[in-house]
Amino acid sequence: MRLSKIPYLIALLLVVLTYVCYQNVSECGFVHFDDDVYVINNPHIQGGFRMPHIHWAFTNISMAMWQPMVWLSYMIDFQLNGLDPAGFHQTNLLLHIANVVLLFALLFRATRAMWSSSLVAALFAVHPQHVESVAWIAERKDVLSTLFWFSATLVYVWYTSSPTRLRYLLLTVLYAIGLMAKSMLVTLPLTLLLLDLWPLRRLQAGNGEPDGKLEARPLIHLIWEKTPLFVLAAVSCVITYLAQKSGGAVDTEWIYPLGVRIANAVVSYWVYIQKTLWPVGLACFYPHPRDSLPEWKVVLSTFMLVLATYAAIRARHKYPYLTVGWLWFLITLVPVIGLVQIGMQALADRYTYVPHIGLFIVFVWGARDLLTHRIGLAARVAAGIAAAGILIALGLITHRQVGYWRNDITLFSHAVEVVPGNFLAHDILGTALSHRGDVSAAIAHYRKAIQIEPDYLLARRNLMSVLIQKGKLLEAIECLKEALKILPNDPDMLTQLAILYLQQSKLDAAEEPLKKALRISPNHAGAHHAYGVLLAERRRIEEAISHFARAVRLAPGNMSYRKDLEQAQRIKEASTN
């Protein structure tokens, strides 16, 4: 076989390897962990790839993010496959396969190290921490944005070989599209600077002499060269922060003080490395430890992080891949490491999708350097067998991990099993069991979630709903009262408490929470309707009609509100006659 054909054969083998590890993803369904918001209950996605919905994709901030490319990809999926989850999963898998091939092409083009590049791509293909990015439909943003990240980087490598405006324009366009899929791409310009150090060697050495074959430049020139990319990154940061602020996604920064967030960040770096080397106990959610991290762990993690970074930078002349790989890992994790806290998680497997590349470069090129001192056939065979064994082991774990995403019950039962204190997993598992009709088991999981995290209101609301479903109104009332101790001015919960009292004909008990709800939210349709019911029970029909009418004006599509208004009006007419 001609040597020029080998890279194409390797690319084909990478495609087969990735498909084999993930082939059971088509058997997975939707999960009620953002999939419902992104696809199942989203009328714009189910409207198909049509102009009104395309306009919505570019003008709407949903899920506290601006991600038009993600919405468009879902619309295309629905246009082709309807609401069949297999189609959405297959698209995610195709994107992941494309990313694997692009990563191999990128590394091979930049380094000309075919076997090392293929091993990094293979590790990227089969590592179990990437299952979340591929098997979770709502995480389409990961695999889609990375497609543009790798494409833009490949164009950059092409550009450095012969800089032209057209090539730079293509790079900028691909980067802009990638940012419209996920704002985590803001670190891409920094990763291009790292590639300038190695393997492109465009950075001038300290003595001003070229450090490689390409035209070498001072660092300031290389930074200036990427000014348009940095501008796009800055704009994306502003849009993302405003979107997440308006959507309430960053409210937890007040729950987690800056010191707590920094402590979790430095520890999380080492947890990511640990799970990279030993990928067991993976779950879809890891609760934030808040201020429970031991001081010794925070101090040790900080010291080791600084020491490792110092050592990597010192090695930039002799082992530049070590510097680039380690800094790639550190930098690309910064947007999601928790310094600006988004959500309630401490870390997430999906966040390693691109940062892992840095670690894989360190591992693979480091092993390659070690093997150069033992060039015997036996050493090479042993290294090949070891690499194959690692890939097989990771592939088997990945295949099993994909199976957990089959449905809500398998996914969150596993999360409860492997992560102690996983209140969110208990809550969603309770909802899944409730939908299956196992209300008693659902109640047990809701109570466990509340026991772990007493301030988690969603679990209390879900518990209240199933208690009402079982006719346990007194327990539901107590559940609501406890929730109102946490959030005393919530008009929805105040109204629901009043409705429960009304169902027990406790009119006096219902009146105070309704009055409070209307003081807090004068245009709360549900509170107006419930107050109308209370007044009607007291035979104050004129006042009841006023509140019923207000409820109908505020929620004209609610037929029960309209029906009660018409009935009150009939009672008034009958009493007048």
pLDDT grade for 373, boundaries at 50, 70 and 90 = low
Around 211, how many Cα atoms within 13 Å sit in the side-chain half-sphere?
A: 21
Q: Could you read off the pLDDT of 469-515 as tens digits, one per residue? A: 898 999 999 999 999 999 999 999 999 999 999 999 999 999 999 99
pTM attached to this predicted model: 0.92
Q: What is the pLDDT of residue 2?
A: 63
Region 181-193 average pLDDT? 96
Single out the residue of 441, 146, 136, 393 nearest to residue 285, CA to CA. 136
Q: What is the pLDDT of residue 243?
A: 79
Q: Could you read off the pLDDT of 224-279 as tens digits, one per residue? A: 999 999 999 999 998 887 877 765 555 444 468 899 999 999 999 999 999 999 99
Q: What is the pLDDT of residue 378?
A: 76
Single out the residue of 285, 270, 280, 286 nearest to residue 398, CA to CA. 280
User: Which amino acid is located at 414 in the chain?
Assistant: H
* DSSP summary character for residue 209: S
Q: What is the pLDDT of residue 340?
A: 83
8 Å CB contact between 479 and 467 = yes
Q: Give the burial class of 464: count Cβ atoms within 10 A of its Cβ; 0-12 exposed, 13-18 middle, 19 or more buried.
A: buried
pLDDT grade for 214, boundaries at 50, 70 and 90 = low
Average pLDDT, rounded, for the chain: 93
Q: Which DSSP string corresponds to 342-377? A: -SSEEE-GGGGTTTHHHHHHHHHHHHHHHHTT--SH
